[in-house]
Structure formats: structure tokens, C-alpha cells
Amino acid sequence: MSETRRYDDAVDAIKSAILQSQCDAARSVNEKQLKLYYGIGKYISLNSRKGFWGKGAIDAISERLDKELPGLKGFSVRNLRYMRTFYEEWAMLDNTPIENVENADLAQACAKSPEKAQLTIWNALVPNFKSLSLDTFLSIGFSHHRLILSKVKETDARIFYINKSAAEKYSYDALEKSIARDDYHHQGALPNNFHRTLPAAEQARRALIAFKDEYLLDYINVEELNIRDRQDVDERVVENAMIHNIKNFILTFGKDFAFIRNQYHLEAFGEDQYIDLLFFNRELNCLVAVELKTGKFKTSYLGQLQGYLSVLDGFERKPHENPAIGLILCKDMNKSFVDYVIQDYSRPMGVATYKTSKDMSEELRRALPDIEDLRKLLDERPN
């Protein structure tokens, strides 16, 4: 091995160790901060809500902290109230003392291993939150928790956004957009035939989770496309806008989607066909064909898509891949009707609707960046 190669290996090993250490340190700091804020919130809640403190106590405490710990940040009056809210909204997750645990074996196990007690009690005493682990709860920042608590009122929806933020490593802005899109209420609700057509129940469950019943393509504004005749706003125009904003489009679909190309050419038995958008999903380990329609759903779309999927499986699918899945994106549909007719098709397919910026309510439009901001982001992209 050459000296240069040895140095390369050494640098790679040390760099990996440094990055892993930084990641672990950041996670540890975040976890400790959340536990601190939760504890402070509990202390403030118990004393301020039950009348032990007089009016204006939180203001006075914040002022004293600022004087006695100069330069201390994060303990303003507003943040102290946020901490109280953080505790009160998640008070059901408060650790119960080991001696109060009814299961004697559990209490004994916790006593023998204090470092595992918190996780053990969490899992034992919070049966209604099996979809939310302690590690996940502590892995997202306080600002993310604040945003979720302020914008989302249903407990199940809050758990959904915590899990999604942790799994997809959402920035604050990405989480805000996910909430604005109402991703929780659009998950797994699309008309589909996955349970009938996919070979395994687990694959069908994952497919259902992977797709939403409606996609908010907020970066597409046909008014900004300089179309001379509004009648020319067809599938290809919207498709080109999606390709121009492919990063945003993939983020809308989810982190496991990899874009292959648009107008993907299929050739079989001398027939040429073109799929509007072709993806590969890493979680599902399969090709995903997306057909874009600007009008209301028609049953003929299912037949067209089934033909594409047959050719994909017969001529394009690799031996280790699962059967291809199809998705029709249209502007409108009767869900009950689609859910009924789609069951007669033998290839796994779903139907979802989409909205562009011109379809959004004024309230939602204000919550999202305008077209100029998006243009600046696109102009700043590396070539």
C-alpha cells in the first residue's frame, strides 16, 4: 500500500470518528436541554398554577436569572412560559417514581439498573404511545417541539410530526411546511389496491405509508409560467414545472424517493410508451411510475397505468426488486368511486390529488414562501 493511500485511510478513519463524536455530542446536548426544559416547565407549572407564586412571578424570575447569570440565553419570560407549556402538554409522559410502579418485577429491575429505569418506565407506563419512543422524543430540538405544540392540537398528530421530524431530520422550516401541508391527515388515505396486489402484507403497509391522498405542490404557480393562452396549461407544463423544482418535488413525496427521469421511454413488442415521471423508492425497493393528469379522474387512467406497470415488471425490474407501483396524480376525484373501481386491477396502484399554489387558501399561501423566494433558491443552486 502506498504512503498516500495509508494517509487517505487514516484521514477517513479519523474524520469518521470526529463526525460521529460531533453527532453524539449534539444529540447528548439536545437531550439534556429537553430534559432541563421539561423539568423547569414542571417546576414552574406546579408553583404558578396552584397559586404558590404571585402574579408576575415568571417575569421576576426571568429578570433575576438575567442579572445573576449575565449572557444566559433561552430563559426569557416567553421561553419560560414555553417550558411550562412543554411540560403541561406532555405531562402524561412525566416519569413515575419506581416505588409507585405496580409491577414489582419491573420496579426491582429498574432499581438494579438505574440507567435503564427511565426508558423502562416510559415503555411500561405509556402503552398508548407505542409509536413514540423516548429516544425519538428527545432527538428533535425544543424549537421543533414548540412549533408542533403551537400548530398541532391532536396528540396522535403531534406524535406523527415528532416521528417524521426525527426520521427525516427536518429543519424547522421543513417541519413548518409539513404541518402547513397537513401531512398527518393526508397520510395513507389514498384509494388503492395495495393489499390485494402486493405479495406481502408488510409491503402493502409500507406502500400505504409511502403515499398521501393529496400533494401540495406549492412551488408550482401557473400564473408565473408566462403562458400566452391559459388553455395551454396542460400536463406537460405542470410536469416541466415539477422537473424544474425537482428537489422540492422529491421532498414533497418523501426522503426515500429517488428521481429517475420524466417521460421515461418504455419499448416492448414494437410499441413505444412514455411514463410521465419515474422514481425508485428505497424503502419499498421498487420502481414507482407517476402519471400526471390535470383534470378529474377517469377510469381509463387505470388501464393506461396498469399497462406501464406490466412492461416495467417484465422488461425493467431487477431480480432483487419488488413489483413496480403506480400512482395517478389528478386534480380531482370521487374517492369512493375510485376506491371501488381500482380493486378490479391486478397491478398495485393508487390515486391521489394535488394542488398548486393558485389552488391554496390565502391563509396557507401566507404560511409558505412566495415565488420570488423560490426563484432565488433555485438561482443559487450549484450547477
Domain match, 134 and 243 both? no
Answer left, alpha or beta for residue 269, where phi above 0 means left and psi between -120 and 50 means alpha. left
Domain boundary among 136, 155, 185: 185
Q: Which domain holds residue 149?
A: 3-185
Residue 316 CB partners (closer than 8 Å, separation 6+): 266, 287, 324
Residue 222 CB partners (closer than 8 Å, separation 6+): 230, 233, 237, 238, 241, 356, 358
Distance CA 157, CA 131 (A): 11
Domain match, 215 and 344 both? yes
Domain boundary among 185, 212, 241: 185
* Cβ(220)–Cβ(245) below 8 Å: yes
pLDDT top residue among 259 and 114: 259
Query: In the predicted model, what is the mean pLDDT of residues 273-287?
Result: 93
Distance CA 109, CA 68 (A): 42
DSSP conformation class of 372: H
Determine the pLDDT at residue 127: 44
Q: What are phi and psi of 70, to 5 degrees?
A: -60, 140
Domain match, 181 and 301 both? no
List pLDDT tens digits, range 309-354: 999 999 999 999 999 999 999 989 999 999 999 999 999 999 999 8
Q: How many domains does the chain have?
A: 2
Domain match, 192 and 157 both? no
**How sure is the predictor about 151, in pLDDT bands with cuts at 50, 70 and 90?**
very high
Domain match, 138 and 218 both? no
Domain match, 169 and 193 both? no
pLDDT top residue among 249 and 264: 264
pLDDT value at 171 more than 60: yes
Alpha helix positions (H), the chain: 3-49, 57-68, 77-89, 104-112, 114-125, 134-139, 142-151, 155-168, 172-180, 194-197, 201-210, 235-244, 246-253, 300-311, 335-341, 362-367, 371-379
Mean pLDDT of the chain: 78
Determine the pLDDT at residue 362: 55
Domain match, 218 and 84 both? no
**How sure is the predictor about 126, in pLDDT bands with cuts at 50, 70 and 90?**
very low
* Cβ(259)–Cβ(272) below 8 Å: no
- Separation in Å, CA 106 to CA 1, 99, 275: 55, 10, 57
* Cβ(306)–Cβ(266) below 8 Å: no
Determine the pLDDT at residue 326: 96
3-state secondary structure string across 60-125 = HHHHHHHHHCCCCCCCCHHHHHHHHHHHHHCHHHCCCCHHHCCCHHHHHHHHHCHHHHHHHHHHHH
**How sure is the predictor about 383, in pLDDT bands with cuts at 50, 70 and 90?**
very low
Domain boundary among 126, 154, 185: 185
* Cβ(201)–Cβ(348) below 8 Å: no
CATH assignment of the domain containing 355: 3.40.1350.10
Q: What are phi and psi of 189, to 5 degrees?
A: -110, 5
Residue type, 256: D
List pLDDT tens digits, range 58-89: 888 888 888 887 777 888 889 999 999 999 99
Domain match, 364 and 223 both? yes
Determine the pLDDT at residue 317: 95
Domain match, 143 and 18 both? yes
* Cβ(331)–Cβ(294) below 8 Å: yes
pLDDT top residue among 342 and 100: 342
Determine the pLDDT at residue 81: 92
Determine the pLDDT at residue 20: 62
Nearest to 212 by CA among 355, 85, 114: 355
Domain match, 151 and 206 both? no
**Reported pTM:** 0.60
* Cβ(84)–Cβ(44) below 8 Å: yes
Domain match, 179 and 322 both? no
Distance CA 38, CA 127 (A): 21
pLDDT value at 286 more than 90: yes
Nearest to 289 by CA among 359, 349, 234: 349
Which residues on neighbouring strands pair with residue 212, listed in sequence order?
187
Domain match, 207 and 162 both? no
145 burial (CB, 10 Å; 0-12 / 13-18 / 19+) is buried
pLDDT value at 106 more than 50: no
**How sure is the predictor about 110, in pLDDT bands with cuts at 50, 70 and 90?**
very low
CA dihedral 207, 208, 209, 215 (to 10 degrees): 100
Distance from CA of residue 179 to its chain's centroid?
A: 9
Residue type, 169: K
